[in-house]
């Protein structure tokens, strides 16, 4: 049977709850937006039920000393094809085994796949910790735009909250059109049609929007970046491996090179 | 602005030969709603075109210097543009770079103007201003100036996450030749002093409620490779003794970049990058793989093999210790197999509790089979027993390293 959910994590967990409740073997679990109807498979639309979602998470965490729910969420955020089925297979493996030790068996193809995706997510989170570039606006806010490979914005907030506890900031995912906002007190998600957060790339480059010293610090940073390079040791392959071109568009130090 | 830009260019250019870039290992958490947090792992915010990481704002306070060390661009007799920051300059740059998420913190070194204490006092003032006036909890790495007074070193230790004194030249005799004003005692004394001060704070910790942080990320140093005649065994033994006796967290190795037209140092056409890489690999074997120096290099082979990595070289010198049984051997021995790193070794240990491991499992776990296959036994592996010819294995691995990845794929695909 094919299951269809609304695209939210709670929606996916509601599907998984239904699958276990009704003892069904699913063929596929698809988000509504990605689902293509076929004549052969019967699709069941599952309405999101927060209580069911919580029960699934509680169920796996009780068996795994709270290891599994974080892993499952990361697999979901990868947005990779078949990630929903993998989340289901993890839950199934944990329930069948009855404890978390199954997560250490990398000879199990589902566990291995999950570990590989977790590693990719971890790398992307780490890249965002590194590559977010804030710029200061006239009203004292710090803005950054990102375009990560995976939907990692929900995973990076805590890091920036700890680090920039005394400044207000907004990190905006320009591909997925939502942002994370911190006002020195609480952190909130913000969506693109919220007028307070209607930032876009044009605005970010507008000098009347920027703090008067912003351009100076950007220039200082770009100059610093080039001054610390040792030309005798140039190694473009290594440079690109660490800093792939797709991230350059929001890197302050790469703007000169990027336009060249 | 143009003034500060000019200073930044000169003083970052002069600082770039220091290899240290680490910003990890501290425990300085942002508990006061201040700026910055240095409790987690280090972050490389950018990478220069030479592929090195940019984690800290790495600058000299000044490149004026009373010393004349042959290997150094800022030496007295070298004709370069000189500049000096003010304390406010450095603080302002650090804070503003940090707020924009360009950096993890500050790496502050300096040429020596007037004398050691005069210089050290300024470096300490920068760190103190950042910590006390700006509530800055980012990472601060400060150079301990050889010969500076214990009081200043102690104060630096209270504000900085890491202090380092560079040894630069791996033997005292060679150091005297290229840096007549320097000696080992001036370098080792502050290291020992800081080590014992740090230990005092650690010892007090259980008895006193609020022990201040003292050098939470410890000490490091740097050795220049290739500017003097010492062999790799000498360098690794020195590094090992620094890890053991001075309790250093890191020793950095910097392949000598021929910067000086000074006849006290060799005139190399290019920096010895392969040698530098091999020494780093050996350093990793010392720190994470349980090897001793004598297992990596000995009297007969005092230099590392440039063609193959030191772990493979060890395995080829000791065919009697292999093959290793993947399903039975200890973690320590699995870790010694070329092509198996710390992560794969741990995965092997945890997975084999659940099931008998097959060669396909190893490949998926991340073992580099084109290396490991000669040194393991594991079901599914097709290697004729007793067919282990050291020279053949060596040649086969070197050839497979050089072969393009696409050609490799063709064999199986």
Residues of A in contact with B273 (CB under 8 A): 233
Torsion, CA B13, CA B17, CA B23, CA B24, rounded to 10: 170
Same domain, B335 and B256: no
**Sheet arrangement for strand B105-109:** B56-60, B105-109, B139-143, B162-164, B219-225, B250-255
Range of the domain at B196: 2-261
Q: Of the ranges A147-156, B22-31, B218-227, which one carries the lowest mean pLDDT score?
A: B22-31
Range B19-35 average pLDDT: 84
Residue from A122, A158, A166 to probe the interface with B (highest B Cβ count within 10 Å): A166
Percent pLDDT > 90 in chain B is 68
Domain count, chain B: 2
The answer, yes or no, to whether residue A232 has pLDDT greater than 90, is no
Is the CB of B5 less than 8 angstroms away from the CB of A219?
yes
Is the CB of A242 less than 8 angstroms away from the CB of B44?
yes
The predicted pLDDT at position B222 comes to 93
Residue B201 lies in a domain: yes
Residue from A94, A135, A229 to probe the interface with B (highest B Cβ count within 10 Å): A229
Decide the pairing of beta strands B105-109 and B56-60. Answer: parallel
- Rounded to the nearest integer, the mean pLDDT of chain B is 90
Decide the pairing of beta strands B219-225 and B162-164. Answer: parallel
Tell how far CA B385 is from the center of its chain. Answer: 40
Percent pLDDT > 70 in chain B is 95
Residue A144: what are its φ and ψ, rounded to 5°?
-140, 145
Q: Which residue of A has its CA nearest to B258?
A: A232
Same domain, B201 and B121: yes
Indicate the residue of B44, B257, B365 with minimum beta-carbon distance to A232. Answer: B257
Same domain, B202 and B101: yes
Domain range annotation of chain A: 2-123, 132-212, 213-260
Distance, CA of B54 to CA of B48 (rounded, Å): 7
Range B153-159 average pLDDT: 96
Same domain, B156 and B32: yes
Terminal-residue alpha carbon distance, chain B: 59
Same domain, B350 and B250: no
Residue B208 lies in a domain: yes
Same domain, B160 and B35: yes
- What is the DSSP secondary-structure string of B357-402? --HHHHHHHT--HHHHTTTEE-TT----TT---HHHHHHHHHHHHH
Residue from B50, B85, B93, B349 to probe the interface with A (highest A Cβ count within 10 Å): B50
Residues of B in contact with A236 (CB under 8 A): 49
The predicted pLDDT at position B406 comes to 45
pLDDT in tens, A162-176: 999 999 999 999 899
pLDDT in tens, A145-196: 999 999 999 999 999 999 999 999 999 998 998 899 999 999 999 877 765 5
Residues of B in contact with A164 (CB under 8 A): 35, 99
User: Looking at this predicted complex, what is its ipTM?
Assistant: 0.91
Is the CB of B361 less than 8 angstroms away from the CB of A107?
yes
Indicate the residue of A107, A130, A227 with minimum beta-carbon distance to B13. Answer: A227
Residue B111 lies in a domain: yes
pLDDT in tens, B366-407: 999 989 999 999 998 876 555 678 888 898 889 888 876 544
Residue B70 lies in a domain: yes
Same domain, B327 and B242: no
Distance, CA of B207 to CA of A192 (rounded, Å): 54
Distance, CA of B251 to CA of B22 (rounded, Å): 11
Residue B123: what are its φ and ψ, rounded to 5°?
-65, -40
The predicted pLDDT at position B389 comes to 83
Residues of B in contact with A229 (CB under 8 A): 16, 48-50
The answer, yes or no, to whether residue A37 has pLDDT greater than 80, is no
Q: Which residue of B has its CA nearest to A243?
A: B47
Both tokens assigned to B189: 């004394």
Same domain, B220 and B327: no
Same domain, B245 and B333: no
User: CATH number for the domain including B200?
Assistant: 3.20.20.70
Is the CB of B354 less than 8 angstroms away from the CB of A107?
yes
- Rounded to the nearest integer, the mean pLDDT of chain A is 89
Cross-strand pairs, B222: B252
């Amino acid at each position: 049977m094919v299951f269809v959910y609304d695209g939210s994590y709670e929606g996916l967990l509601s599907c998984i709850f239904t699958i276990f409740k009704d003892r069904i073997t699913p063929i596929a679990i698809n988000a509504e937006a990605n689902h293509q109807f076929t004549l052969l498979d019967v699709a069941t639309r599952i309405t999101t039920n927060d209580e069911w979602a919580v029960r699934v998470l509680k169920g796996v965490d009780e068996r795994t000393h709270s290891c599994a729910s974080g892993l499952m969420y990361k697999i979901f955020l990868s947005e990779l094809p078949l990630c929903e089925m993998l989340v289901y297979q993890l839950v199934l493996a944990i329930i069948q085994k009855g404890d978390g030790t199954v997560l250490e068996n990398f000879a199990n193809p589902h566990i291995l796949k999950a570990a590989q995706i977790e590693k990719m997510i971890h790398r992307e989170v780490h890249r965002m910790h590194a590559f977010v570039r804030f710029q200061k606006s006239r009203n004292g806010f710090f803005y950054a735009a990102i375009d990560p490979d995976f939907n990692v914005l929900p995973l990076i907030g805590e890091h920036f909250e700890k680090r920039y506890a005394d400044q207000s900031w907004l990190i905006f995912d320009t591909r997925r059109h939502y942002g994370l906002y911190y006002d020195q007190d609480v952190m909130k998600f913000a969506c693109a049609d919220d007028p307070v957060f209607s930032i876009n790339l044009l605005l970010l480059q507008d000098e009347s929007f920027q703090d008067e010293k912003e351009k100076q610090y950007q220039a200082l940073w770009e100059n610093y970046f080039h001054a610390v390079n040792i030309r005798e040791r140039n190694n473009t392959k290594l440079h690109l491996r660490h800093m792939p071109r797709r991230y350059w568009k929001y890197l302050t130090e790469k703007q000169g090179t990027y336009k060249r | 602005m143009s003034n500060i830009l000019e200073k930044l260019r000169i003083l970052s250019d002069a600082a770039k030969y220091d290899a240290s870039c680490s910003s990890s290992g501290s425990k300085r958490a942002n508990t006061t709603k201040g700026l910055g947090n240095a409790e987690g792992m280090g972050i490389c915010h950018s990478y220069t075109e030479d592929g090195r990481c940019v984690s800290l704002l790495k600058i000299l306070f000044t490149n004026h210097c009373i010393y004349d060390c042959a290997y150094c661009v800022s030496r007295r007799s070298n004709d370069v543009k000189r500049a000096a920051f003010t304390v406010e300059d450095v603080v302002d740059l650090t804070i503003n770079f940090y707020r924009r998420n360009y950096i993890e913190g500050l790496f502050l070194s300096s040429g020596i103007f007037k004398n050691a204490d005069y210089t050290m006092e300024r470096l300490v003032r920068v760190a103190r201003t950042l910590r006390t006036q700006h509530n800055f909890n980012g990472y601060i790495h400060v150079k301990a100036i050889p010969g500076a007074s214990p009081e200043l070193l102690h104060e630096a230790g209270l504000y900085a996450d890491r202090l380092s004194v560079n040894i630069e030249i791996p033997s005292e005799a060679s150091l005297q030749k290229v840096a007549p004003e320097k000696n080992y005692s001036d370098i080792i004394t502050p290291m020992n002093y800081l080590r014992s001060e740090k230990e005092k704070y650690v010892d007090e910790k259980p008895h006193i409620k609020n022990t201040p942080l003292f050098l939470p990320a410890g000490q490091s140093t740097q050795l220049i490779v290739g500017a003097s005649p010492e062999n790799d065994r000498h360098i690794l033994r020195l590094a090992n003794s620094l890890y053991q006796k001075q309790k250093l967290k890191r020793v950095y190795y910097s392949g000598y970049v021929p910067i000086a037209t000074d006849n006290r140092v060799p005139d190399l056409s290019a920096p010895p990058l392969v040698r530098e890489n091999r020494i780093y690999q050996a350093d990793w074997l010392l720190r994470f793989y349980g090897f001793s120096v004598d297992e990596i290099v000995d009297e007969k082979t005092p230099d590392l093999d440039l063609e193959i990595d030191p772990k493979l070289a060890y395995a080829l010198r000791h065919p009697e210790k292999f093959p290793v049984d993947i399903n039975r051997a200890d973690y320590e021995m699995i870790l010694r197999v070329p092509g198996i790193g710390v992560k794969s070794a741990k995965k092997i240990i945890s997975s084999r509790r659940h099931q008998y491991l097959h060669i396909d499992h190893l490949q998926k776990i991340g073992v580099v089979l084109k290396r490991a296959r000669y040194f393991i036994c594991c079901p599914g592996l097709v290697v004729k027993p007793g067919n282990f010819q050291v020279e053949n294995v060596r040649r086969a691995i070197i050839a497979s390293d050089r072969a393009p990845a696409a050609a490799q794929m063709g064999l199986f695909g």
